[in-house]
Amino acid sequence: MPSDSNDSDPHLLLGEFRRTLDERYRLSIPQQLATDLGNQVVLVKERPGALSLWKHDPWQKQMSEGLDWVSNKLEAGKLEQQVDNLQQLGRLLSSRHCHLQLMGRGRLLLPEGFREFLGVTGGDPLVVVGAAVCVEIWHPQAWLEYLRAEMPGFRQLFGELAD
């Protein structure tokens, strides 16, 4: 798999890899995926049993643009009736992601709250999956459940995206 970390490259991150979280809570990201991600990454809580790992700059650009929209609406008084939604957004934003750096040999230190979200501890197995635009880290049982639910629709999805 070629590894060009140019942000404009449409290269897809692909592959499924079995890994073990070491006793220091480090995870070894496969070299071909780590190279494509670069050193600066964002770890994100996506769904129960799964985290995603994104290239820092494109992820940060998208997040900043979205937050600018929300801030502008708030400043214009368009969100006065949505205080509960704003609080919920704030809580989720405060705990949903963190900025990290991949260490030598593509190792990633999983922070405590992210390990809890995955339901893993040191010595536990994980599945690292190239999800086209990001890298995902899955609890093995959650990954198997996801595959069982989604694999029957693969041909249709592929046809829609490739058409």
**Residue 15: inside a domain, yes or no?**
no
For residue 49, is pLDDT > 80?
yes
| pLDDT reported for residue 5 | 38
CA distance 119 to 150: 22
Structure tokens at 67: 């937050």
Query: What pLDDT, in 10s, does the model give residues 107-161?
Result: 999 999 999 999 999 999 999 999 999 999 999 999 999 999 999 888 888 888 8
- Terminus-to-terminus CA distance in the chain, angstroms? 24
Instruction: Decide if pLDDT at 61 tops 90.
Output: no
- Domain count of the fold of the chain: 1
Question: What is the CA 109 to chain-centroid distance, rounded?
Answer: 14
Dihedral of the alpha carbons of 139, 54, 85, 49, in degrees to the nearest 10: 0
pLDDT at 10: 58
Q: How high does pLDDT run on average in the chain?
A: 88
Sign of CA dihedral 65, 66, 72, 75: negative
Separation CA 101–CA 145 (nearest Å): 30
What is the CATH classification number for the domain harbouring 82?
Answer: 3.40.1550.20
Residue 1 belongs to a domain: no
149 within domain boundaries: yes
The pTM for the full model equals 0.82
Q: 137 near 15, Cβ under 8 Å?
A: no
* Domain that residue 137 falls in: 23-162
Domain for residue 142, yes or no? Answer: yes
pLDDT at residue 89 above 60? yes
